[in-house]
Structure 1
């Protein structure tokens, strides 16, 4: 039995040789008294921060999300994506798409991509899908052949791939070997109004390189073409549903016609 004294609006308890006094302002005051009377442990009730650190917000065979930690395959994992997942879990937001993305990106053999890809995608406005892939754009010729080699045909519904070893993993090489993809913001920088605009679905495990700066163009060794869109409508043409964790944008996003704006506005309303 834990030594204790209950007196009016205070409780004095001995824990690990230390004397702790709790008054009625403690949020767990009633629960602490009840637990002491029933000879139940009270350490976590008294130390709220310790209890929160032990709290499991999400758990499956590979991932365990706590109040301030995320473990992958029983090892702590610290990067921008894991912090986003923890934040969303604290707010009790659905996190399944980001968990799926995390599992896929962890299959990428490049450590830098595993650590940095999600933050780069978020800044570039390339959202993820419910199954943990992400969406991006690509320009091709009017006959759907690649501008680069003039041979590779990019039809909606097809999957294009190269051997990964033939793709350049150097993040400082902006134009090099590999299958290129980009954000909406980059589209206008490539051949102006020429060509067709395609929507790609890409597994984060298949990304080979992306720049260290804000240039929103990357390379993968495989992608699937899921749609074709008119260039002038490309900004809001991603298929639904797509997800982003950005929820602190200006209020005028609520009036934005883009999918990004609608999702950000929805997320902000949900949090409020």
Structure 2
């Protein structure tokens, strides 16, 4: 990271939903270290969120943790309103909150559908809506899709559909927000070394391979780089889309999957 990179968000305010762990925590850290004042949205892990705030502020950053369940649009609105009130403006939304789901077609219930879409899709739509209400020209909205939106995986239909909808949202919202000088894009992470990945990664294998091939070997033979991403590597993609370097990029989804095939 160059000296210029370290200051490219100076004077800007960013909200990171799902910011207490995994990719979200890496994004919050990256933006704060590049000069942004960061509001870390979290749903339940207050201890992790406050620990991250303490780490960032000890490094001289401005940071605040606020609880909000993105499945509830009212809580999302209050999060974005409070962020703008506390820091006087809002420049960046990094929407990283999300949940996984695996289940065969016959097992999916209406409650499953409502829960997954409430967080992964509706939650991101209203986060974008409420963030845009506070943004001026130059605002940056970065949502989170998944490489699963364009790859067939057994039992992953509901999750993949919720993420594919996000890609359609950024494409269409780009037309609405472009006239205001606000860009909106998405990151589609592949396998990333987080606690969520550790829990669910075996489910991404073909059922006939589960238990027969060690996960590390499976990653090595299915990815050009032969390894999982580190959260800070994925965070670099969010930082790029949130920066002035991406001023002419909108409505697109950037895959960060290490060349998975």
TM-score band, normalised by shorter chain? under 0.3
The structure richer in helix per residue is: 2
Q: TM-score, normalised by structure 2?
A: 0.24
- TM-score where L is the length of structure 1: 0.23
